Copies of this chain bind each other. A is one copy, B any other.
Amino acid sequence: MTVQIAGVASTPYGNHPDSSTRELFTDAALEALEDASLSVDDIEELYAGNFIGDLTDDQAHVGAMLADYLGARQAASMRTESACASASSAARSGAQAIAAGDADVALVGGVEMMHTSGLAEVTDALANAADNEYENEAGLTFPGIYALMAQVYMDEFDATNEDLAAVTVKNYDNGISNPIAQRQEETDVESVLESPPVATPLRLQDCCPITDGASAAVLVSEAYANEHGLETEVSVVGSGQSSDSIALQDRPDLARTRAAERAAEQAYERAEISAEDVDVVELHDCFTIAEILAIESLGFFERGEGARGAVEGETAVDGRIPVNTSGGLLAKGHPVGATGVGQLVEITKQLEGRHPNQVDDPTIGLTHTVGGSGASCVVTVLRAGGA
């Protein structure tokens, strides 16, 4: 059974000092429900991604808290956690609940408040996505982990700092037109290379920012959409999810994300498409190197060729395979527990023809969300055309 996307919304991504976790999520959820022409009472299942709330806000049990504050106490509620892919797991579970026949309406989303704590505390909390015993205790944080991956990639394929910087330039440029994007600024290769060093070879503009934000999507069964006359325009036609070693040390090749390769293969098979059929992509560019690895794992570029994607304009809005037309994590921002559904929001808008960086008449869209340094990956394929 095909699952339909009836409504989507993201709050502005950025800094929300006057909001709380429950308030910010409720803003996104109510806007998505309005977009779907449905009400809170219609929600049967609620799946929410949240990653660091227990560390920064002393608050777990977030699924129930969000259902409660939203007024959807009747719903089954739970929090899903796959590190930075938490919201994509929420969406996948919501779609499965519908496909299983347990529900007709599922609200899926995520929220993260990352400015309630200091930078050191947030960095420490994010490190919980890595292997604590083997990585964190040894002093690795996420910029360090991705820097190692970048070093290996650059060495193996003769890629340059300029190749990485081209990803930032493209995504910042896309972010300027996106009203919810956290970073609304142009940059150029030189500015990226001159931005402060974080972990060699990564500089500040190679890294996504710390972000508060929430995103939500209303998923419905095809039967429900037809019965209630909902004008859905986008279907979830396939998803894949896979795992990998949580610690880098156990991977045979640091310049390759195997979970993403497997998730993509599974998603393509279920959607009955191949990489060539994809028209627009939102993927997990937490660091510039991550976008390059992702476009290779997803099959848009051969291994070692991803570095030329942004440089040669192939991943631009008007390129062969437009990637992160939203600005991506680098410019739109990365509220970790919300990011996966935030990507679905952007792709839905693309397939509905109402995106601020609209690509030309797309039929197939894809999201790619990574947990940690690639120990989790979720790939979701959407198709224009509703119930």
Q: Which residues of A contact B (CB under 8 A)?
A: 20, 45-46, 51-52, 54-55, 57-65, 67-68, 72-83, 89, 92-93, 95-102, 124-125, 127-133, 136, 239-247, 250, 258-259, 262-263, 270, 371-372, 375-376, 378
B96:A65 contact, CB within 8 angstroms: no
Residues in B neighbouring A83, C-beta threshold 8 A: 60-61, 64
14 additional A-B residue pairs with CB within 8 Å, beyond A73-B242, A73-B244, A78-B241: A20-B133, A59-B131, A64-B371, A65-B131, A68-B247, A73-B243, A76-B378, A77-B241, A77-B376, A78-B89, A79-B82, A80-B81, A95-B100, A100-B100
A58:B136 contact, CB within 8 angstroms: yes
Contact of A128 among B60, B73, B76 (CB under 8 A): B60
The 6 A-B residue pairs with the shortest CB-CB distance, nearest first, are A76-B241, A99-B100, A64-B375, A60-B128, A61-B83, A96-B100
Output the nearest chain B residue to A93 by Cβ-Cβ distance: B93
Residues in B neighbouring A242, C-beta threshold 8 A: 73-76
Q: How many copies does the complex hold?
A: 2
B128:A245 contact, CB within 8 angstroms: no
Contact of A67 among B57, B131, B243 (CB under 8 A): B243
Give bound CA distance, A244 to B76, whole Å: 10
Residues in B neighbouring A63, C-beta threshold 8 A: 81-82, 243, 376
A79:B80 contact, CB within 8 angstroms: yes
Smallest distance from the beta carbon of A44 to chain B beta carbons, Å? 10
A132:B57 contact, CB within 8 angstroms: yes
Give bound CA distance, A330 to B247, whole Å: 37
Give bound CA distance, A131 to B89, whole Å: 24
Given contacts A73-B243, A82-B79, A245-B68, contact A61 B371 (CB under 8 A): yes
Give bound CA distance, A78 to B81, whole Å: 6
Residues in B neighbouring A128, C-beta threshold 8 A: 54, 58-61
Give bound CA distance, A219 to B61, whole Å: 25
Give bound CA distance, A376 to B63, whole Å: 9
Output the nearest chain B residue to A101 by Cβ-Cβ distance: B99
Contact of A68 among B58, B136, B375 (CB under 8 A): B375
Residues in B neighbouring A72, C-beta threshold 8 A: 243
Output the nearest chain B residue to A266 by Cβ-Cβ distance: B76
